[in-house]
Amino acid sequence: MQDILNNTALMITLTTTIIALFAVGYIALIFGANRKIIDEQQKTIEEIKRSEQRYKALFENSLAGMMKFNFSSWVIVDTNQAMLDKFNANSIYDLQKKFTELPREMLRPIEISLTKTGMIDSHEITFSLETGIIRRFFFSARREGSEQLAHAVVVLMNSEKKIG
């Protein structure tokens, strides 16, 4: 009789231990899986950051003028130093002001082409500096996604002094 009781107690102990161990194991498994996901996310974030830094350097150090802008309002979202230098602007706001002061007929084809085809290639724009120098540029841009945003690249064609 005592053996049966002992065996019953042993069975209860064993099953309780096994179930409790399963519970601990399950929690550990869930915890481990989450750690793995977080580690992978961390790696992806670091890779994105590195990639962003590489492209940021390419953007910043480019000799061609680059800017991201809204082609219907001509609000400039981002630009590089080469772009500011080309238009003799001190800041992004100064550059934006200079673009809005350009003749409407010069910018209109850019807006139409970006709206219809999503890109414009080597459109010529002329800009006069305060010093009297006239600069001519090739303006190329491509629309970004469904927003009215576009990425533009501006290359200097020539500079000439206005005579008279």
Among the listed residues 44, 51, 38, 135, the one whose alpha carbon sits nearest the alpha carbon of residue 86: 135
Of 46 and 60, CB closest to another protein: 46
Work out how close the CB of 66 gets to another protein at its nearest, in angstroms, rounded to a whole number: 34
d(CA 38, CA 155): 44
d(CA 127, CA 87): 8
Of 14 and 157, CB closest to another protein: 14
The edge-to-edge listing of strands for the beta sheet with 76-79 is: 76-79, 65-70, 149-161, 133-144, 119-128
Of 46 and 144, CB closest to another protein: 46
CA torsion, ordered 97, 64, 72, 107, to nearest 10 deg: 80
Work out how close the CB of 41 gets to another protein at its nearest, in angstroms, rounded to a whole number: 7
Q: Which of residues 16-55 bind another protein (CB under 8 A)?
A: 16, 19-20, 22-24, 26-27, 30-31, 33-35, 37-38, 41
Choose which of 5, 103, 146, 161 interacts with another protein (CB under 8 A): 5
Work out how close the CB of 3 gets to another protein at its nearest, in angstroms, rounded to a whole number: 12
3-class DSSP state of 158: strand
Q: What are the residues binding another protein (CB under 8 A)?
A: 5, 8-9, 12-13, 15-16, 19-20, 22-24, 26-27, 30-31, 33-35, 37-38, 41
